[in-house]
A and B are shown apart, each in its own frame.
Chain A
Amino acid sequence: MDFTPLFNPETMAVIGMSMHNDQHPANVILNKNRLRFPVKVFPVNPSGGTYQGEKVYKNIREVPGPVDLAVVAVRADMAPDTLRDCIKSGVKGAVVVSGGFAEVGKANLQEEMVRLAREADFPFLGPNCLGIYNPARADTFFLPPERMVRPEPGGVAVVSQSGGILVDQMIKFADEGIGLSLGISIGNKALIREIHLLDYLAKDEKTNVIGFYIEGFSPGEGRSFAQAARACPKPVIVMKSGKSAEGSRAVSSHTASLAGDYRVFSSILEQAGVVEAKNEFEFVAFCESLGCYKMNITGRVGIVTGSGGHGAMAVDACLAQGLEVPVLGKSLQDGMKGKVNRSIRNIASFANPVDLTGSAVDDDFVHVVEVLSRSDEVDVILILLLPYIPGMSSDLSARLSQVYLKTGKPIVAYIPHVEKYRMFIEGFELNRIPVSHSIEGGVFMVEAMRRYRSC
């Protein structure tokens, strides 16, 4: 099945829009795409006529030219016939937004759609989903545009069984400056499931990291997902819910008792090189980090700070994750000490955390990070950058980014996220250095690189 027109539509029909109700989900989709996206949109309603001055087509067969994507928002019992019409008219794919299928016990309706689609090799998402958000082309989410928070276009694709979780992750991505290539809500995933999207996104040029929110796999599907993830050349991040749900089982064997459903899920995905995020904080941090660095580290962290307290907190968070914060060798410490200005030479500490104190200036940080970057005693540097230190200028983060570009040693930063410090944050992010709004988030970014195993 070819998903390309479905996810990158030039033309879109919205079937089931209302002639009278502007708040109808289909009308929201119609309007936002007409006003804000390059996709060409055709409204479809059996009564025909005009809506907001535009011709309304009575059915999909009347719509001129090839239609890449049909958004189906009709009643559930009419959905199979609508899909049949789409197939007959040469539409290339559909998003079935409507609910009222398997989730309310009417699995037969969605099974009929699956049968039609398989026969015709016709891809559709849903039913009971938000569909796709492609920042460059189209948006089938039935949410008013002024209510949505849109991340920048970028390299992370997110696939979610839950539409709400997807919308929330997009808000968090926007907040953290993470760019999105494609957001896909799969709802009841009657036809297109996680495994198909993993295969598609592995080849999608705009995507360099693939994130999933998964509630569960159908029988046998976990195995094919794990095999595909193992072969995938891009980082795959999975966040799972329903971890505590254990099916009823006889406790006749120790193995069955020890190998609970979630433990198996988690172990097998790890075996496949998937990075599992235990919660939303990890998910966002992992997406940001692996979007910048597609590399595996052993997890020896060098911490650079201007505040002893931040250094101590970061050490605790690293150790809690099982990361190492090694005491640096004497010659390395001397090397850093020799590069900082005289006034802090005897008050700073270089053992790790490297605490340059609140009296440090830009050059001190840049020189120390440069020396540390060229050492093999650490494989990643966590910078706790506090823009309120008086000797620090807003050039610092961009200068530190240059050190990464020169030396190749990955840098992860913590900066408090308030509007006032945006220039510091962008100095890193625009140079593809990940920045977290919390110390712990920065540590998660490091952890992502340790968990990621390329094949």
Chain B
Amino acid sequence: MLTEQMKKIITDAESSGWVMEPEAKALFREAGLPVPRFAWAKTVEAAAGFANDTGYPVVAKIVSPKVVHKSDVGGVVAGIRSEVELRNAFERLRGLDGFAGVLVEEMVAGIEMILGAKNDAQFGPVVLLGMGGTGVEVYNDVAIRMAPLDERDVADMLPCLKGYKLLKGYRGQPAVDMAALSETVIGFSRLLMDLEPYFESIDINPLMCSPEGCVIADARIILRKEK
């Protein structure tokens, strides 16, 4: 069941056709999925206030209904270590098309995965899980299953990925928390069944996966044009 807050996020986004990162994360947080601590700062003071409370380093990202792919326009500044750096980043992002504020959030580390969804005409909501990051379409290393998923489905999907070896711990690196990953994918797949009337596709990219768990570092929800 969608909560009132989730429904409001979707309704508010209808005019632009998609749910921007801060609202998408708020929706996922409401659904119990792991998101980092973040603030949607309209002013440089608000941004600095959040960062000073949370502690550095932080990442600053453009919020704009006109910018779907933030990295493509230099809309992501990672590894900000001080208030001065944060203020500089804020000023630069302010110049981008459709500026509607800056998302400031704690830095999360890990292996970049993609957790996506498509509302398929023949099969309804399907889940895509694979190796993520900005090179996601280059690696093209993904597995697709029909939602909702159970633990067995996720356990079947992971070995299909070439990147599975990285997840299990490659060359001395520790393995990512598979149980947390599985739980996130299953929770996401269940949410899709409730979102079915509203969404066209969803990107959670990257989903940061580490031995400590996994966190939604970026997200967008593209809404259906007609219902």
Residues of A within 8 A of B (CB): 216-223, 226, 247, 250, 252-259, 261, 263-265, 267-268, 271-272
- Please state if B145 and A255 are interface contacts (CB–CB under 8 Å): no
- Please state if B116 and A223 are interface contacts (CB–CB under 8 Å): no
In the bound complex, what is the Cα–Cα distance between A223 and B136 (angstroms)? 27
- Please state if B68 and A252 are interface contacts (CB–CB under 8 Å): yes
Asked if A263 meets B144 with Cβ closer than 8 Å, knowing A252-B222, A257-B137, the reply is yes
Does B183 touch A at the CB level, under 8 Å?
Answer: no
**CB closest residue in chain B, given A253:** B201
- Please state if A223 and B122 are interface contacts (CB–CB under 8 Å): yes
**CB closest residue in chain A, given B225:** A250
In the bound complex, what is the Cα–Cα distance between A220 and B68 (angstroms)? 29
Residues of B within 8 Å of A255, CB to CB, are 114, 116-118, 128, 201-203
Does B83 touch A at the CB level, under 8 Å?
Answer: no
- Please state if B116 and A220 are interface contacts (CB–CB under 8 Å): no
- Please state if A258 and B140 are interface contacts (CB–CB under 8 Å): yes
Contact of B205 among A223, A254, A259 (CB under 8 A): A254
Residues of B within 8 Å of A226, CB to CB, are 123, 146
In the bound complex, what is the Cα–Cα distance between A144 and B98 (angstroms)? 69
- Please state if A268 and B222 are interface contacts (CB–CB under 8 Å): no
Asked if A268 meets B203 with Cβ closer than 8 Å, knowing A252-B18, A255-B114, the reply is no
Contact of B156 among A218, A253, A259, A271 (CB under 8 A): A271
- Please state if B128 and A223 are interface contacts (CB–CB under 8 Å): no
Residues of B within 8 Å of A217, CB to CB, are 122
- Please state if B205 and A264 are interface contacts (CB–CB under 8 Å): no
Does B61 touch A at the CB level, under 8 Å?
Answer: no
Asked if A254 meets B136 with Cβ closer than 8 Å, knowing A217-B122, A220-B124, A259-B128, the reply is yes
Count of interface residues, chain B, beta-carbon cutoff 8 Å = 31
Residues of B within 8 Å of A257, CB to CB, are 137
Question: Helix, strand, loop or mixed for chain B's interface?
Answer: strand
List 18 A-B residue pairs with CB atoms under 8 Å apart, sorted by A's residue number.
Answer: A217-B122, A218-B122, A220-B121, A250-B222, A252-B201, A253-B116, A253-B202, A254-B137, A256-B118, A256-B200, A258-B116, A258-B137, A258-B140, A259-B116, A263-B144, A267-B126, A267-B145, A272-B146
Residues of A within 8 Å of B123, CB to CB, are 222-223, 226, 264-265, 268
Asked if A253 meets B144 with Cβ closer than 8 Å, knowing A223-B123, A264-B126, the reply is no
**CB closest residue in chain B, given A219:** B121
Question: Helix, strand, loop or mixed for chain A's interface?
Answer: helix
Residues of B within 8 Å of A247, CB to CB, are 121
In the bound complex, what is the Cα–Cα distance between A256 and B220 (angstroms)? 12
In the bound complex, what is the Cα–Cα distance between A250 and B200 (angstroms)? 10
Q: Give the interface centre of B122, B145, B146 by most chain A CB atoms within 10 Å.
A: B122
Nearest CB on A from B134, distance (A): 9
- Mask: chain B, 138-158; 1 = CB below 8 Å from A; 0 = not: 001011111000000100100
Contact of A268 among B68, B114, B126, B200 (CB under 8 A): B126
Does B130 touch A at the CB level, under 8 Å?
Answer: yes
- Please state if B144 and A267 are interface contacts (CB–CB under 8 Å): yes
Contact of A254 among B116, B126, B146 (CB under 8 A): B116
In the bound complex, what is the Cα–Cα distance between A261 and B203 (angstroms)? 17
Residues of A within 8 Å of B220, CB to CB, are 253
Does B212 touch A at the CB level, under 8 Å?
Answer: no
Does B120 touch A at the CB level, under 8 Å?
Answer: yes
- Please state if B126 and A259 are interface contacts (CB–CB under 8 Å): yes
Query: Considering the complex of A and B, which 4 residue pairs feature the smallest CB-CB distances, nearest first?
Result: A255-B116, A222-B122, A267-B144, A222-B123
**CB closest residue in chain A, given B221:** A253
Nearest CB on B from A39, distance (A): 37
- Please state if A253 and B222 are interface contacts (CB–CB under 8 Å): yes
Residues of A within 8 Å of B202, CB to CB, are 253, 255
**CB closest residue in chain B, given A226:** B146
In the bound complex, what is the Cα–Cα distance between A261 and B136 (angstroms)? 18
Residues of B within 8 Å of A253, CB to CB, are 68, 116, 200-203, 220, 222
In the bound complex, what is the Cα–Cα distance between A259 and B114 (angstroms)? 12
Residues of B within 8 Å of A258, CB to CB, are 116, 128, 130, 136-137, 140, 142
Residues of A within 8 Å of B121, CB to CB, are 219-220, 247, 261
In the bound complex, what is the Cα–Cα distance between A218 and B126 (angstroms)? 16
- Please state if B203 and A264 are interface contacts (CB–CB under 8 Å): no
In the bound complex, what is the Cα–Cα distance between A271 and B120 (angstroms)? 15
**CB closest residue in chain A, given B116:** A255
In the bound complex, what is the Cα–Cα distance between A221 and B122 (angstroms)? 6
Residues of B within 8 Å of A223, CB to CB, are 122-124, 146
Residues of A within 8 Å of B116, CB to CB, are 253-255, 258-259
In the bound complex, what is the Cα–Cα distance between A68 and B135 (angstroms)? 60
Nearest CB on A from B36, distance (A): 20
- Please state if B122 and A216 are interface contacts (CB–CB under 8 Å): yes
Q: Which residues in chain B, 169-226, are within 8 Å of chain A measured between CB atoms?
A: 200-203, 205, 220, 222
